[in-house]
Amino acid sequence: MTFYGYRRPDGRVGVRNKVLILPASVCASDVTRIIAQQVEGSVTFNNQQGCSQVAPDQQYTMDIMAGFAANPNIYGTVVVSLGCENCQMDLVVAAIRERTNKPIEQVIIQEVGGTLKAVEIAVRYAKAMVADASILRKEEFPVSELIVGTECGGSDPTSGLAANPVIGSMSDLLVAAGGTSILSETTEFIGAEHILARRAATPEVHDRIYEIITRFEQSFHPVGEDVRAGNPSPGNKAGGITTLEEKSLGCIHKGGHSPVNAVYDYAKQVDPKQGLVIMDTPGNDPASVAAMVAGGAQVVVFSSGRGSPTGNPIAPVIKITGNKLTFAKMEDNIDFNAAPLIYGEKTLEALGEELLQMVVETASGKQTKAESLGFTEIAIARACNFV
C-alpha cells in the first residue's frame, strides 16, 4: 500500500503541509492564536507551560515543542516567545535544530515592541512560509514511511472487545509492511505488563517495560496516593470496566501481536521503520497523543467506547469505537465503527484491513472528523508522574 505525502529536507515524510506558529510559553499563546487566525495554512496550540517549571517538567515541555516543530506534517515553524520565560528562544530553537533542519523564524514579543508588532512580523514570516509550502508537490510513498500512534480514552468493555483488537490488527498489518506503530499509556499497562514483557524483542526491552510501569506506579506513593484510586475513571466504571487490570488487558490489544522492539521516553523522537514500539506516556489522552506526535507520528488512531472529541493541531486523529450506540450518538466525532466485530458481521482481519485503508486515505489527505471540527487542544505531562 502507498500514500501521498511530502518529503522533508530531513528525510521524513509528512501527511500534512502546515506552518506551525509555536508559542514558547503560556504568555505567548494568545499572540500565536491571533497570528494563526490571520494566516491560512498555519496551525498553533494553547501552550499552558514553558515557564515557572522545575527542570524535569520544563524538559517535557521542550521535547513537546521541539517534537511538534520536527514532526514531518510541519513545513516550517515561526517560534514566538515573550522573552523572559524559562523556555528562552535560544533554547527552543536549539532543541528544534537538534531534531530537524526545516525552516525556522523567531519573534520575541518584548524585543519587537509588544503584541501588535509581534503579530505583524510573525504574520509576514508565516505567510512567506505558507507560500513556499504551497509549491511542494505530493509524492507517492510506501506505508513503511508511516509512524502511527495508538491511543484509547473514555474506554468501556467494547474497547477491549472490539475497537482495540481492530487497532491491533491494523498495527500488525502496518508493522508487516515495514511501518511503525506506537503503543502508549503506561498507566494502562499495569496488571498486563507480564504479557507485554513476554513479547519484548530483547532482554533490554523486557526489563525496560517493567521499569517504566514500576516507576510510574511507585511515583504516587511518596505523597500517599495510589494510581488505582483514580483509574479506572468514573466514565470507565459507568461503562462497565471494573478494575485497572481489566482496563489494561483491553488497552494492550492496540499493540496487536507483533514483537515490542523498543521503549521510548516521553515525547522523544521515534525512529521510522521500527515495527511495534512503546512510548512511556500517562493515561491522560491529550498528553499521551501530544507525546506520540512529538515523537514523529504523522497519524493517530484513537479508540473510545464512551466517545471522545479529542484531536491534535499537528497530526490527524482517527476516532474508532466498538460501541454501536456511541457510534450512532457521536457520529460527528467518530470516524470508524468496529462494532460489527462484536455482532459477528465482520471478521477482525477484515476490519483491520479497513482501518489500515482509512489510515492510508487519511495520510493521503482525507480529513478526519476532529480535523474538520478544528480540535487542537493538547496537554503536556508532568515529570512527577515519571519519577
Q: What is the pLDDT of residues 198-254, one digit of tens each?
A: 999 999 999 999 999 999 888 878 878 877 777 777 878 887 877 878 888 889 999
Q: Please give the backbone phi and psi of residue 230, each rounded to the nearest 5 degrees, phi first.
A: -115, 5
Asked if the model's pLDDT at residue 385 lies above 60, the reply is no
- 264-293 pLDDT, tens digit each: 999 999 999 999 999 999 989 999 999 999
381: nearest Cα among 67, 168, 99, 77: 67
Q: Among 150, 127, 149, which residue's Cα sits nearest to residue 38? A: 127
pTM, full prediction: 0.96
- Residues 156, 212, 165, CA angle at the centre, nearest 5°? 30
Q: Per-residue pLDDT for 384 more than 70?
A: no
With contact defined as beta carbons under 8 Å apart, do 64 and 89 qualify?
no
- On the question of a cis peptide bond just before residue 286, with omega within 30 degrees of 0, the verdict is no
Q: pLDDT for 340-377, tens place per residue?
A: 999 999 999 999 999 999 999 999 999 999 999 999 99
pLDDT at 234: 83
**In what order do the strands lie in the sheet containing 74-81?**
42-43, 18-23, 74-81, 104-108
Q: What is the pLDDT of residue 317?
A: 98
Contact between 281 and 292 under an 8 Å Cβ cutoff? The reply is yes
pLDDT, residue 386, reads 57
Q: How far apart are CA 115 and CA 299, in angstroms?
A: 34
Could you report the per-residue pLDDT of 320-329, keeping only the tens digit for each? 999 999 999 9
In the predicted model, what is the mean pLDDT of the chain? 95
- What integer is the mean pLDDT of 121-135? 98
Q: What is the pLDDT of residue 243?
A: 80
Residue 387 has pLDDT above 50, yes or no: no
Is the model's pLDDT at 124 over the cut of 80?
yes
